Amino acid sequence: MMHRHLSDERIQAYLDGALAPEEARVVEARVRSCARCRSIFEAWESLFEELGELPALGPAPG
């Protein structure tokens, strides 16, 4: 059986909290069972954490 890896879009939606609970469970199970998906997930998770630490920017002057 061929496994499909998680797409970047699906991982991002998961990290944004935009997936339905059932879909989120599928992502979690896939991350636990697939080293490649876990690696990609962890990279996105790290990026989301880093972006969350950036200061908020206001509108440009002018």
pLDDT digits (tens, 9 = 90+) for 6-55: 999 999 999 999 999 999 999 999 999 999 999 999 999 999 888 888 78
**DSSP string covering 1-62:** -PPPPPPHHHHHHHHTT-S-HHHHHHHHHHHHH-HHHHHHHHHHHHHHHHHHTSPP--PPP-
Give residue-wise pLDDT tens across range 28-39.
999 999 999 999
The reported pTM is 0.77
Q: Is the pLDDT of residue 1 over 50?
A: no
